[in-house]
Amino acid sequence: MSLTESFTGSLAGSRILIGISGGIAAYKTAELVRRLTERQAQVRVVMTDSAKAFITPLTLQAVSGAPVSDTLLDPAAEAGMGHIELAKWAQLIVVAPASANTLARLASGLADDLLSTLCLASPAQLAVAPAMNQQMYAHPATQDNLAVLAQRNTLVWGPGQGAQACGDIGSGRMLEPMELVGLIEDYFTPHAQPFAGIKLMLTAGPTREALDPVRFISNHSSGKMGFSLAAAAAHLGAEVTLVSGPVTLATPAGVTRLEVESAAQMHATVMAHIAEQQIFIACAAVADYAPKTVAKQKIKKTADRDNMVIELVKNPDIVADVAALPNKPFTVGFAAETHDLAQYARDKLTRKGLDMIAANHIGLADHGFNSDTNALSVFWSNGQTELGLANKSALARQLLTLITEHYNDRS
C-alpha cells in the first residue's frame, strides 16, 4: 500500500478552512491543500489581497476543487454575506502562512477583510502557522501578539527554523505541509486524556547567571522541547505548570507559566510548588555553576588587564533535590551530551535517583538546542528505548506516552 493510499480517508468529512496571508511561504499552501483533499477533507480557501501576489486563486481552486474566496461582501452569496456562511461551515480554520501583519490583525480583533472577519465570526478552532523573517518573528510585538492568541486558545503551529528566502537563518519558516497535515489529523483524532487529574510541572529553556548588571553566563537552549512537552501534556489532560527560563516562545494554551532568570530562582520556584505535583520533568538546561559574586556595576575593560578570572560556585541541583523528596513525584531528567551519551545518561539516572531520563546528542545536526527536530534515547531502571529524529511536538507526545506507561506502573 502506498503512502498516499495509507492515509486516504483519515480526514473524511472534516471541514477545514485554509486562510492564506501574504508571504513567500504561500507557495507551500497548495501542497497542504492537496494533501488534505487527498485525505478526503472538505477544504475551502480564503486569500488576502497580498497573498495573491505570491500564488494565484486559480491554483488553489484546482487543488481544493472549490471556489476560492477573497471578498468580504460577496454578491453571489446568500444575503451577500459569504463570510457568515463560511464562518458557520468551518470546523477548523488554519491560517498558513500567518504573516506578522495577519497575526497582529487577529490579536487586535480587526475585521476589515474576509480572512480576519471569518476568524472573528466563526466558533471554529483557530490555528496559525507563523511565517516571516526571523527578526520580525523575534520582535516583542510579534511575540506579544502570539501570546495573546495563545491565551485565547488559538493553536500556534511552528514556526520552524532554518534558511529563509531573504537569506537570514533563524526561526520564522512555516512548518512543512506534511507537518501541518499531521497536526490537523491530530486535532481531528479523538484523544484519550491519560493525564486527566494529574498535576505536572516541568522546567524549560536556559538560565542566566549574572556577572554584572550587563553580562551573564548562559547556554544555547531555546526552550522548544520543554514548551512542546508542556503543550502536549496539557492536550493530554494534565494541569501543567511550566517554569521557564528566558525564551521568546508563546505560552501553550492551558499552561500556567512561571518565569525565572537564574538557576537559584528556578530552584526556588520549583521547590515552592513541587509538593502538589505528581510528575516532574526537568527539561531546562540549567547552568551548573554561577559567579560567586555579582558586580554591582558593569565590569570595565582596562588597558592593564588582559585576563579576568571569575570564581564560579555550584548551582543547586534542581532535579536531584526533587528526586530526593520523601514523597517525590515521578521524576524525569534530561541529559544533553556531546559523547558517551548512554554512559552519562545512565550514571545520571542512578546518581540522582530519577525514574526516567531522556538523553539527546547535541553534537549531531538537527538535534538538540535551537533545532525544531530532535531524537531521544530514553532510559529507566531496567530498560531503554530510542525515539528517532522527529519534530519536537511529535517527539513530546512519544515521550509522554512512555512516561504515562511507567508512571502507571509505579502507581
CA atoms of 68 and 47, how far apart (whole Å): 7
Residue 89, CA distances (Å) to 15, 132, 190 in order: 7, 29, 20
Q: What DSSP assignment string belongs to 212-248?
A: SSS-EE-----SHHHHHHHHHHHHTT-EEEEEE-S--
CA distance 139 to 319: 33
Catalytic residues: 166
**Which amino acid is present at 115?**
L
Question: For residues 50 and 217, what is the distance between their CA atoms, to the nearest angstrom?
Answer: 43
Contact 85, 59 (CB under 8 A): no
Tell the residue number behind the cell numbers 558517551, with chain if given: 340
By CB atoms closer than 10 A (0-12, 13-18, 19+), residue 125 is middle
Q: Which of 162, 170, 164, 73 is nearest to 114 (CA)?
A: 73
Taking the CA atoms of 42, 47, 52 and 54 in sequence, report the sign of the dihedral they define.
negative
**Residue at 25: amino acid letter:** A
Burial (CB count <10 Å: 0-12, 13-18, 19+), residue 192: exposed
Contact 161, 369 (CB under 8 A): no
To the nearest 10°, report the CA torsion of 267, 151, 132, 94: 130
Residue type, 111: A
Give the integer Cα–Cα distance in Å for 398 and 202.
Answer: 16
